[in-house]
Amino acid sequence: MSMNRIILLMVLLFILEGAVMPWIIPAGFGHRIIPHFVFVIVIFSGLYSRRHLALMLGVSFGLLQDIVYFGHLLGINAFIMGLMGYFTGVLLERRRSTIMMAISIIGFACILYDSVIYFIYRVFRITNESYAWALIDYILPSLFLQLVFALACYVPVRKLFEGQSKAKSEKDEE
């Protein structure tokens, strides 16, 4: 049941970041602030659940983002989102993370996610802007939105993923 809740939450966040957030973000910042709420949940799943779940959620919802929103390179968001979720799960597999550790890891992962997408676009000559421009124009403003979202949903999402992993371990013991 909990896995269904996780997928439902991510679908709702996917709709929120694509349909509702453009109306909420002020008009002057519409092209500068890009919400990545689904990515934040993928990182939470890597932190508080299994790394394979984070990989699966990252690849599936990243591919959904590639198909719906980004038509330049198909699969780039799926690859990076899945890889970042998996590596978060690998790096912190046995370590219990606090709220400050989780927020700092999410912040670092969001900067890395946007930076890798920028550099891949730069390699394929989709963008011609400098990295400093991209960092100031949309990476850092988007980072603040992701960090506020991660802070706001920390406790419920942590309980959701820890409950899901406890239910999975109890089911494996039977």
Residue numbers of the chain with a pLDDT score lower than 70: 1, 71, 165-174
Sequence-distant contacts of 21-28: CB under 8 A, at least 24 apart: none
HSE of 92, CA atoms in CB hemisphere, 13 A = 20
Distance CA(68)–CA(115), nearest Å, equals 21
Phi, psi dihedrals of residue 130, rounded to the nearest 5° = -80, 160
**Of the candidates 117, 157, 155, which has an alpha carbon nearest to the alpha carbon of residue 134?**
117
> What pLDDT is attached to residue 54?
93
> pTM of the prediction?
0.90
> What pLDDT is attached to residue 28?
82
DSSP of 92-156:
TSSPPP-HHHHHHHHHHHHHHHHHHHHHHHHHTTS--S-HHHHIIIIIHHHHHHHHHHHHHTHHH
Element holding 29 (H helix, E strand): none
Distance CA(103)–CA(18), nearest Å, equals 23
> What pLDDT is attached to residue 31?
81
> What pLDDT is attached to residue 165?
63
Contact indicator for 46, 62 with CB cutoff of 8 Å = no
In Å, how far are 52, 60, 94, 99, 119 from 165, measured between CA atoms? 12, 20, 13, 19, 35
> What pLDDT is attached to residue 84?
95
> What pLDDT is attached to residue 169?
61
What amino acid occupies position 66? D
Number of H helices, E strands in the chain: 9, 0
